[in-house]
Amino acid sequence: MEFIKNILKGMVMGVANIIPGVSGGTMAVSMGIYDKLIHCITHLFKEFKKSIIFVLPIFIGMGIAIGGLSFVIPVLFEKFPMPTTVFFIGLILGGIPIVFKKTKGNKFKVGYAIAFLAFFALVIGMALLGEAEGVTRDVTPSLTNVIILFFIGIIASATMIVPGVSGSMILLVLGYYNPVITAIKDFLSALAHFDMAGILRGIGILLPFGIGIIVGIFAIAKLIEMLFEKFPQYTYWAIIGLLVASPIAVWMAGNMGVIGVGAVIASVITLAAGFVISMKLGE
């Protein structure tokens, strides 16, 4: 049961990571697995069996979501933009009480407010920056692009794992979001049709990008673990700032389409559904 539950949590994180403006790290916090996920990543080799048991279903879920739902999510945003966007806002809001519990029993300090405001401003600033979509980059397999994609993977993974920071939005600004999403779709289509040329092209694009993601995840996870150990309350208040700003950033990044009575009613339902799902997965 726990294995299936963690796959579902991984799917939520995976979906979040392919949507500009939504953070996979935020979803991990909302579902109450962030601290443990960071610990398992940084202690993967020291506590291999324990870490793999926890991390494996999450990464399986992320893989399912990124591979399978990369076809579905864009359609939902196109057909039902407001209810779909608000669903993710509900997922984020449902996790805020979980993080607030981490700060109980500690006297509030001015430094906590500074950490909160600084990271709140960071997310809003990134949302404003995200409106200026970068040009679409050429990712045709070549030595230069392999090196570039490796470093883009590091940047994307670092932002994916930090709550409130959207890795997909960073890719969008840098001009690599559409090429990477297209490469994933084309690679899966090539696999389904046994198209070797398409498969090799996909590997040439996605392999260096994937290696960069793995390197980035380990590097940023170690940094975050150090912050939790040395400055736990400052870190939690910074994360709260990221979480509180995230719904605003998601709303700013989203295209709400025509806002009618039906869309508003559907959005209220999806908001409540997202909130409840986040609360239940975080229990």
Write out the DSSP string of 143-157: HHHHHHHHHHHHHHH
- Scanning the structure block, which residue is given the tokens 């932002």? 159
SS (H, E, C) 98-125: HHHHCCCCCCCCHHHHHHHHHHHHHHHH
Residue type, 91: L
Give residue-wise pLDDT tens across range 106-149: 788 899 999 999 988 887 876 676 554 445 577 787 888 889 99
Query: What tokens appear for 272 in the block?
Result: 């409540």
Residue 116: what pLDDT? 92
Q: Where do the domains of the chain lie?
A: 2-282
Residue 132: what pLDDT? 47
Residue 166: what pLDDT? 64
Residues of the chain with pLDDT under 70: 19-23, 69-70, 74, 126-127, 129-136, 158-160, 163-170, 172-174, 253-255, 257, 281-283
Residue 66: what pLDDT? 76
Question: How far is it, in rounded angstroms, from Cα 195 to Cα 50?
Answer: 39
Residue 133: what pLDDT? 47
Residue 150: what pLDDT? 93
Q: Which residues contact 72 (CB under 8 A, 6 or more apart)?
A: none
